[in-house]
Amino acid sequence: MNAAPPPLTGSPPADERTLRTQLAACYRIFALLGWTELIYNHITVRVPGPERHFLINPFGLHFSEVTASNLVKIDLQGRTVDTSDWPVNPAGFTLHAAIHGGIDHAHCVMHTHTTAGCAVAGSQAGLSPDNFYAAQLHGRVAYHAFEGITVHAEEGPRVVQSIGHAQAVILRNHGLLSWGVSIPQAFAYLWTLQRACEIQVAGAALGPTVPVPEAIQRRCTAVRSTLRRRARYV
């Protein structure tokens, strides 16, 4: 389902303080939505500067406990840039660092292990285009084969190659991922992908789905892109 990239619009906030506030709020939203995995999974955002430092959640805290001040700033090797009382999860910074470092516009990266997302990620057929939300992601979804827990840096280039230009990603046998030029854009992609997975899993027991013609999928994706630009959050 990967195709030519859509035009990237919008820009990330210019200062770290704003990014910290937005990122902490996003962690709280994930907690409210139930997109949590105890103390695991991550949302990261790159801070301004040529070093490509990025903010990540403290390893050991639930998403509901993340604040702007306890977010940890690290470099692409996972080293803490500023002082912090908290460590970071190696499985988190390895995956996110690869994307922040390998995709210029990937200012924000989100990764979840939701039940519906993991179910579709483990399905041989992958994401079905035959529901309202999946039809909005025509040509926008990439897949990456499972290589185990992502703690090995050598997997990074392969992840970036698998992603290509797609901003919605299904990590086979693993979970969901999105990236964007801003926190809202990355969230919009992940929310749409998550809803598509939820509908697919919920409808699986009902038998065959009603196919959505590819032309309609293209039209839905184009309309979604137009509406997002009008909303001025991407």
Question: What domains appear along the chain, each with residue ranges and CATH number?
Answer: 16-231 (3.40.225.10)
Match 């590819």 to its residue by tokens: 214
Maximum Cα interatomic distance, the chain, rounded to a whole number of Å:
55
Distance between CA atoms of residues 98 and 76, nearest Å: 8
Our CA angle for 195, 200, 205, nearest 5°, is 140
How would you list the strands of the sheet with 141-144, edge to edge?
72-74, 54-56, 42-46, 108-112, 175-180, 168-171, 141-144
Q: Looking at residues 100-116, what average pLDDT do you find?
A: 96
Cβ count near 122 (within 10 Å): 14
159, 174 contact by CB (below 8 A): no
Distance between CA atoms of residues 93 and 164, nearest Å: 20
Question: Over 60: is that where the pLDDT of 21 sits?
Answer: yes
Q: How confident is the model at residue 90 (pLDDT cuts 50, 70, 90)?
A: confident
Per-residue pLDDT tens digits for 214-229? 999 999 999 888 776 6
Structure tokens at 123: 């399905």
Q: Sign of the CA dihedral 7, 107, 197, 123?
A: positive
Q: Looking at residues 34-50, what average pLDDT do you find?
A: 95
* Residue 8 CB burial class (10 angstroms; 0-12, 13-18, ≥19): middle
* C-alpha distances out from residue 49 to 14, 15, 53, 54, Å: 10, 10, 8, 10
Q: How confident is the model at residue 1 (pLDDT cuts 50, 70, 90)?
A: very low
67 vs 49, residue with greater confidence: 67
pLDDT the model gives residue 226: 76
Our CA angle for 143, 144, 150, nearest 5°, is 145
* Residue 153 CB burial class (10 angstroms; 0-12, 13-18, ≥19): middle
Distance between CA atoms of residues 145 and 139, nearest Å: 18
Q: How confident is the model at residue 8 (pLDDT cuts 50, 70, 90)?
A: low
C-alpha 59 chain-centroid distance: 19
pLDDT the model gives residue 14: 67
